[in-house]
Structure 1
Amino acid sequence: LRQVENGGEYRISLADFETIQSDLEVFFQLWLTQWEAKSRVYAQGIIANCRYMLLECHKAGVLFAPVLWKGDTPLGVHIAFIDKSKRSLVCFLVSRNLAIRKPPPGLVLHAYSIRWAIQNGLRTYDLGTGDFSYKYSFGSKERLVEGVRINSTNRLTRGNSLDRRSLSSVISSVRKLHQEGKFHLVERGCRQVLETEPSNLEARRLLDEVLAARRIEEQFATALQRHRSKQFLDARRIYLEVLAANPRHYGANYLLGVLCLQAGQYQAADTYLARATEINPKAAAAYNNRGHALRGLKRYDEALACYEKAIGAKPDFVQAMNNRGVTLRALGRIDEALASFDEALTLKPDFAKALSNRNQLRVPVPR
């Protein structure tokens, strides 16, 4: 602390009404650099809450935010809360420039904060939760921190609606749920936001997306049921409706390709199944069925590549091994065809198709 205060290139500034915005941005950037790589969701969630909360705390006169500088380069920012009723200064978060070791930014800012607290008549400096070793260098005492959760008797808020001040946080949570595919929770969150703020465009957009996706999945389920019931024309019509709404729907592309394959429409089957494998490159069944379509078009080399990809995605895919053998036989590559049938039979000795195809080559099964 003396090194910093003896003039020269180091200085400590205290955030005020003129600098609070820029000082907090410095804090956010340094803190994200420290923690985002370890847990991106956690770090961004903390900062999203802080952007609103810390400004409001500063307006209320309870935020203490010193910044350590080397020239014009920020080395660290300390965020603490002033609890006037308990006459304490409570450390919340500290961010620092990871490239700087000496003087240690965190230690310097703690020392500065403790002295400021003494000078301003505070009795306690709370270093916050955690038993990091540096805290004991200040002669700290441990105490148990208890958390209390308070709920209403019916677990609802007053008026059964969200507080407007919480909406940005709720929307942030809803976006995360949307990325995780938890659409029923997205719908619930959006509806709660819109009850409080009907004009919220983000909530409306997300809700519309979820409802549209639900309608598509309901259509797809109907098409699948018709397909299984051998109502092929109806199934085809509904699959096409699903693809009109979402051209990259894997299930509709895959099953429409299968339906076309069943009807001997190999070119159409190849189109839809190729799209299915593009959407899901690990879909072994889609590669296998596309191989059938290409074989029907007598594009044997391409069919062979599809069977290889199917086996690559599912190494025990004996049906694809059998189909690869059939394709190799069509290409006149008999030894390779035998090896493919044998590989399938090694994994499934009672695989009738592979055994029949191998026997057609009239070569004894190795013992």
Structure 2
Amino acid sequence: MHIDIIEGLPSLAKLEDNWNAVYDADDEAQIFLSWKWLSGWLSCIPGPWFILAAKERDAADLPYVAFFPLRLQTTIEKSDVLGNIRMAGNFGADYTGIVCRPEAEHKVIPAFARTIRQMNWARLHLDNVRISERRWRLLTACFPKASFHSTKVDKIIKVDGVDNSLCPYATLPKDWNSYLDALSTNTRQKIRRLLKQVEASSEYRITVATPDTFDRDLKTLLGFWDTKWRARKGDRMDSLIRSNGTMLTRSFHSGLVYLPTFWHGDRPVAALATLVEPRKRTFSFYMTGRDETFEGPPAGMILHAYSIRHAIEHGFVEYDFLRGNEPYKYSFGCKERKIHSIVVETRSGRNLGGRIDVRCIPDLLQQATELHRKGQSADAEMGYRRILDVQPRHADALHRLGQLLAAKTDFAAAKRLFRTLTTVRPDAAKAWQCLGQVCESLGQHEEALRQYLEFMRLQPDSPDGFVAVARCMVKLGRMAEINAALLAAIEPASGPSVRKWRDWRSIPDRQGAHENSISA
């Protein structure tokens, strides 16, 4: 089995037809693994992601038979940089998993696992994986106890005891009355009464979001949801609202969201967002919110019943309540499925291969830079060094680690980094200035002077260059040349002292000596 690694939205776009063919053939596939939902999600998440794509052999004309969407993260901890592989849908999808043609799974899934084992990571987060026991065993068997340690992730919420590994869902018949007949007498009568109360009343109404009203309705939903959960979720709430809002907006414009709002007169009192998957003919309840001060009929039950009736009328076969075994869900005639969540860790606690994944460099550089700004220099230094382990000529890591070491007065090490930086970015004036500064700190004033002259060549109008050159000349006893440098530093670029200074630097024998010293 041949495995390709797909990266970037243009490459993903080319897979649409192939992906949909595999998705349609896979009974275990669900909306969060659909090309339409996943491509929208991957377009707005931070950090690197990739997709393992499997085919029988390495031939351009062969279609792929399976896809495994993943993402990469790095964390600086335990005096090291640890790589994390996560499921690509994590933090937006209730379910994750693998899309695979059933006849190929016994070859594909072990091949995916072998490919992952060749990557550089310390933790593999198999979180919220909706997968058959058969496929789950094929996947996890490839991470044996001798080399890896696996920990089951507890999905029970301590506050209310809800188990987020249990996922209720209702199988939908072909007509609404058949669905109601399968419910308890009490629930059936209640749903009929509530829907009749809303639809026969001028006091209540239900609207469904359209392109013209979606922004308003989504704002209503997220506002109610914020009020309900902010006390529990705390500082995470703002990022959750942003990510959910972005995901639902993109999904709506792709035709994947059904969003009814329940009104009392002109006052919205509840809203419910459901993800719609026409290929698998499923409705997946994603989010709801209501005005907690409303004392009228139960808005949540009304909107669920309204959505289920709509799904049945349009030929959908399943209404999925997604994660969480809240008791109210079972009143809608639900069965339940269980999803898997484990963390696989290397026995050493370090990255496989002893290095970071090169795709993590931008994310790691951002983390290290932020730690550097906060004064957490040891962790920042570790981040910069891990980048240089895999890309020794990475300009930003060279520059920032050089600055960090210079601040620690390790000028000799900083000099080596800045010297390399001038070969990577020879036209970057800042590199030559930094090299000059550390040479000066080491008392190497002749060498510092050469670097400052190169800095001046690249930034001829910068007063800093003139001042630095004059400072070195003082140390070298070249007093006759100092006045011109100092006057040039305080005059406009077109002033006579600047012209005189440039004329001095352009004398053939001095220019030749300058060039020789730089090349040396």
Common fold, TM-score beyond 0.5? no
Higher strand content, 1 or 2: 2
TM-score if structure 2 supplies the norm length?
0.32
**Structure with more contact order per residue of length (Cα contacts < 8 Å, sep ≥ 6):** 2
Higher helix content, 1 or 2: 1
